[in-house]
């Protein structure tokens, strides 16, 4: 294969030496190629968490030394994330559980009468939280320019006096394609709307700057950013968050609570990030995210992007001449993208194909509609409005391979070899429970 190899080494991640069984009794090192679902922890993150663990203590609620230390670590993590995201001076960083949680938090903080604009191509985490607002769902654009034009048109028709929010992904979890975030932000602002960036798939692969992109909020998940310890982030403008009811009611969010003479309870809520962080904060999760932010920054996104480009090219070049393998794309084969590629294989059910990659080669990928039902249906030529089950095998399913900073060349090379072999032996054989596996498997 003639692909340039002058790229940086993969970052050390956990799980690289895990051995898994194959259907024929052999054992091989696991090839994690499902980064878009959850990426392995960076070794650096694991080490930082382990180094802190003995000092673990409560956050914002203890006088003891370890509580003080843990509180400082938690707040330091907030500052690190703000720096990583290029936040503005008065932006707020709220620790959540995930991107889903972050976007639901923002949805709960929408001002009265807010109209929300989303493309049907979004992950369900970005498509669904707005169900209590007026939602305009825009059709799938066939290119970045069309995306901006569609949004411009929709915003031009809206009530210019009411509040409005645009929610858009930075990189698709199905095609990996990059969305024109800065242009969409400019369009939103030109029409008096705000914009939240779903960076779940972008932040692990590309630098994200709230300031440079001029987005109002950004959301991402620790577990996709090599920090799988249960935390996520919502960062951005403080005003809507300050004016909203707390996302969760409880300790930590409340500044003062008194019993009223009439038997009721009166609460004064915090105004800063704590307003939406009720309960005991996940200091290990926040620390892990901050550690990942530092590790990626130190590795240099220009190096990580170049390495990922190299891996994408390796997959593309390795499968270019294989008949019957069709990659899914909204913006075209050459559109800039991150290391997330979905495809279908003639003659194969996608779920069977993913299983065959696992049982025959020790490769972990995902098959399904990837919680982006309308988009996958559109890409597969189906009806985006059709009903169906998320992971039910069937014609309208695809296979997704995804990788990132910790992926060695060997994993994508094994994937390419596996696809070539499986396509060459489409009959395979069926196991007792009806699954299709490579013909070589016992």
Q: Nearer Cβ to ligand PLP, position 223 or 314? A: 223
Tokens of 229: 């310890």
List the interface residues with ligand PLP, window 271-300 (CB under 6 A).
none
Residues 94 and 271: beta-carbon distance below 8 Å: no
Range in contact with ligand PLP (rule: CB under 6 A) among 148-156, 194-202, 269-277, 302-310: 194-202
Restricting to residues 157-186, name those near ligand PLP by CB under 6 A.
169, 173
Q: Is 371 a catalytic residue?
A: yes
Q: Which is nearer to ligand PLP, 179 or 343 (CB)?
A: 179
Phi and psi, residue 317, nearest 5°: -65, -40
Under the binding rule (CB under 6 A), the answer on residue 397 touching ligand PLP is no
Identify residues 222-251 at the interface with ligand PLP (CB under 6 A).
223
Q: Which of 188, 200, 357, 367 binds ligand PLP (CB under 6 A)?
A: 200
Q: Hey, is 114 helix, strand or coil?
A: coil
- Containing 138, the helix (H) or strand (E) segment is strand 134-138
Name the minimum Å distance from CB 100 to ligand PLP. Answer: 3
Q: Which is nearer to ligand PLP, 74 or 220 (CB)?
A: 220
Residue number, 178 or 441, with CB nearest to ligand PLP: 178
Largest CA distance in the chain: 79
Binding of ligand PLP by 221 (CB under 6 A): yes
Q: 22 vs 417, 434, 442, CA distance in Å?
A: 16, 17, 9
d(CA 197, CA 181): 8
| Residue of 99, 104, 115, 231 that binds ligand PLP (CB under 6 A) | 99
The span of 97-105, 302-310, 313-321, 417-425 binding ligand PLP (CB under 6 A) equals 97-105
**DSSP labels for 147-212?**
HHHHHHHHHHTS-TTS-EEEEEESB-TTT-BBP-HHHHHHHHHHTT-EEEEE-TTTTTTS---HHH
Looking at the DSSP bridge assignments, the partners of residue 235 are 93, 218
Assess 376 for contact with ligand PLP (CB under 6 A).
no
Cβ–Cβ < 8 Å for 224, 233: no
For residues 56 and 225, is the Cβ–Cβ distance under 8 A? Answer: no
Closest CA to 117 of 135, 140, 139: 135
Catalytic residue among 167, 371, 390, 427: 371
Angle at 386 between CA 380 and CA 387, to 5 degrees: 115
Sign of CA dihedral 311, 312, 315, 320: negative
- 170 vs 318, which CB is nearer to ligand PLP? 170
Taking the complex as a whole, the smallest distance from the CB of residue 198 to ligand PLP amounts, in Å, to: 5
Q: Is 206 in the site for ligand PLP (CB under 6 A)?
A: no
201 binds ligand PLP (CB under 6 A): yes
| 96 vs 359, beta carbon nearer ligand PLP | 96
Task: Report in angstroms how near the CB of residue 383 gets to ligand PLP at its nearest.
Answer: 22
Q: What is the DSSP letter of 14?
A: T
CB of 172 to ligand PLP, least distance (A): 7
* DSSP character string of 42-101: BHHHHHHHHHHGGG---SSS--SHHHHHHHHHHHHHHHHHHHHTT--TT-EEEEESSHHH
Residue 3-42 contact track with ligand PLP, rule CB under 6 A, x = bound: ---------------------------------x------
Q: Which of residues 123-142 bind ligand PLP (CB under 6 A)?
A: 123, 125-126
Under rule CB under 6 A, residue 104 binds ligand PLP: no
Pick the closer one to ligand PLP by CB: 175 or 358: 175
- Give the residues lining the site for ligand PLP (CB under 6 A): 36, 98-100, 123, 125-126, 169, 173, 198, 200-201, 221, 223
* Positions marked active-site: 371
């Amino acid at each position: 294969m003639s692909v340039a190899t002058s790229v940086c080494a993969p970052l050390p991640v956990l799980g690289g030496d895990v051995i898994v069984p194959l259907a024929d009794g052999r054992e091989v090192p696991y090839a994690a190629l499902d980064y878009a679902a959850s990426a392995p922890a960076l070794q650096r993150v694991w080490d930082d968490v382990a180094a802190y663990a003995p000092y673990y203590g409560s956050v914002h609620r203890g006088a003891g030394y370890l509580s003080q230390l843990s509180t400082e670590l938690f707040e330091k993590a907030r500052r690190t994330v703000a720096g990583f995201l290029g936040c503005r001076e008065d932006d707020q960083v709220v620790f959540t559980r995930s991107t889903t949680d972050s976007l639901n938090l923002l949805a709960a903080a929408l001002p009265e009468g807010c109209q929300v604009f989303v493309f049907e191509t979004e992950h369900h985490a970005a498509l669904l939280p707005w169900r209590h607002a007026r939602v305009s769902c825009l059709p799938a654009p066939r290119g970045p320019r069309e995306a901006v034009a569609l949004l411009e048109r929709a915003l031009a028709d809206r009530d210019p006096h009411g509040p409005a929010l645009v929610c858009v992904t930075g990189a698709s979890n199905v095609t990996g394609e990059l969305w024109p975030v800065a242009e969409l932000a400019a369009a939103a602002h030109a029409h008096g709307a705000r914009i939240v960036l779903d960076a779940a798939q972008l932040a692990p692969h590309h630098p994200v700057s709230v300031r440079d992109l001029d987005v109002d909020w950004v959301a991402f998940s620790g577990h996709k950013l090599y920090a799988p310890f249960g935390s996520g982030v919502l960062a951005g403008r403080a005003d809507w968050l300050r004016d909203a009811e707390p996302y969760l009611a409880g300790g930590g969010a409340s500044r003062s609570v008194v019993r009223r003479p009439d038997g009721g309870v009166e609460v004064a809520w915090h105004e800063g990030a704590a307003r939406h962080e009720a309960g005991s904060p996940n200091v290990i999760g926040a620390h892990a995210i901050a550690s990942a932010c530092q590790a990626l920054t130190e590795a240099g996104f220009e190096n990580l992007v170049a390495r990922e480009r190299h891996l994408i090219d390796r997959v593309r070049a390795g499968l270019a001449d294989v008949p019957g393998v069709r990659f899914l794309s909204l913006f075209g084969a050459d559109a800039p993208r991150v290391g997330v590629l979905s495809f279908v294989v003639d003659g194969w059910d996608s779920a069977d194909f993913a299983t065959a990659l696992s049982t025959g080669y020790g490769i972990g990928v995902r098959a399904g509609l990837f919680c982006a039902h309308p988009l996958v249906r559109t890409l597969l030529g189906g009806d985006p409005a059709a009903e169906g089950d998320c992971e039910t095998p069937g014609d309208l399913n695809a296979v997704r391979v995804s990788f990132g900073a910790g992926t060695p060349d060997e994993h994508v090379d094994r994937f390419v070899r596996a696809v070539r072999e499986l396509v060459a032996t489409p009959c395979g054989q069926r196991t007792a429970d009806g699954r299709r596996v490579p013909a070589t498997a016992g």
